[in-house]
Amino acid sequence: MNGQSQALLVGTIFWILLSVETRGLISVSVGATALLPCPSSRNDQDLPHVIEWLRQDRPVPVFIKIGKYPPHVNPHFKGRMSLLSNTATLRIQKVKLEDEGWYECRAYYFKHAVESSNGTLVHPSNGTLTKLYVTAPPAFKSTPPPSTVARVRESLLLQCRVVGKPPPDVTWRKDGWLLQNGENGIKINGGKLLVRSLTTSHRGNYECQGRNPQGQVEHTTSVFVQAPPEITVSPKDLDAKEEQDAFFYCKAEGYPADISYSWFFNGLEVGSCPQLRGRFRTFNDGTFEIESVSKEDTGNISCEAANDFGIAPRVTARLVVQC
């Protein structure tokens, strides 16, 4: 150490606190790098100096750098906190949600008296305050399954939990259409979608979407509503003449929609009815035909409709054959 630099240190040294209290806001996404400027710093880091960074909720600085010595860093920030080369700007890497808070920068420089008017030691006032605001894009905490099967008149609850900062808005769509609360018996409350009593009209693809300024996420659930068949078209009573062909038609709806029809003559399944052997035909579309009817065919013709999920109650028509 030469005389001059000794004089610099032991002589009329004084602290220059360059900080002015200012407030800034730095917004950074979780995992990214935050740069907190220290307006009170000088560019000339060759001057002997002390840089302190404080967090308002902690009694001791989270970062202290004295001259060219390696900095002291709070364990929470170990390996993530440094100064941007040759400045007092604080760099926080891999930012965590817990890093959010007010940060205060204090920069002190030792200066030779020559450049100042007197040798007063100026005590630091509060430094520069910067708010670090940590944002996070939406992410699902939980989602409903990709598909779900329920029965008519049962209730259905789909729940999407979305986290993020700021808290994401959650919206629901059915088959691409935005759903409003109350629409078609569907209650929507944020990430919750509730149908108290399912009908087949509730079948479809439900998408929940979470969105905040940082981004968006979507999840789709296919909802299948099982319904036993319900007969929508019943066979009609028929007066026929002998040797005519008689036709009956039955139609049912349900889900799954592949419905099979069975026919009965006076309560007996037509296949096991000796009288009709070889004279009837059934069709997948719900048509039943008796060829060349005779007087003995006068009776009750019933239709039954079934899918994998259930059987509709039989409906009956009267066939009357006259000479």
Q: Which residues of the chain form contacts with ligand NAG (CB under 6 A)?
A: 21, 117-118, 120, 125-126, 266-267, 299-300
* Cβ at position 168, least distance to ligand NAG in Å: 33
* Cβ at position 104, least distance to ligand NAG in Å: 8
Q: Which residue, 14 or 255, has its beta carbon nearer to ligand NAG? A: 14
Q: Which residue, 200 or 300, has its beta carbon nearer to ligand NAG? A: 300
Contact present, 261 and 312 (Cβ < 8 Å) = no
Q: Which residue, 6 or 120, has its beta carbon nearer to ligand NAG? A: 120
* Cβ at position 127, least distance to ligand NAG in Å: 9
Q: Which residue, 40 or 226, has its beta carbon nearer to ligand NAG? A: 40
Nearest residue to 131 via CA among 48, 19, 56: 56
Q: Which residue, 207 or 297, has its beta carbon nearer to ligand NAG? A: 297
Residue 107 has a CB neighbour count (10 Å cut-off) of 25
Q: Which residues are CB-contacts of 86 (< 8 A; sequence separation ≥ 6)? A: 43, 45
Q: Which residue, 16 or 306, has its beta carbon nearer to ligand NAG? A: 16
Long-range interactions of 288-292: CB distance < 8 A, separation 24+: 288/235, 288/247, 288/248, 288/249, 288/250, 288/261, 288/263, 289/245, 289/246, 289/247, 289/248, 290/245, 290/246, 290/319, 291/245, 292/242, 292/243, 292/244, 292/245
Residue whose tokens read 């070889």: 278
Q: Could you give the angle at the alpha carbon of 204 between the alpha carbons of 199 and 206, nearest 5°?
A: 110
* Cβ at position 38, least distance to ligand NAG in Å: 17
Q: How far apart are CA 13 and CA 4, in angstroms?
A: 13
DSSP state, 309? T
* Cβ at position 105, least distance to ligand NAG in Å: 13
* Cβ at position 152, least distance to ligand NAG in Å: 28
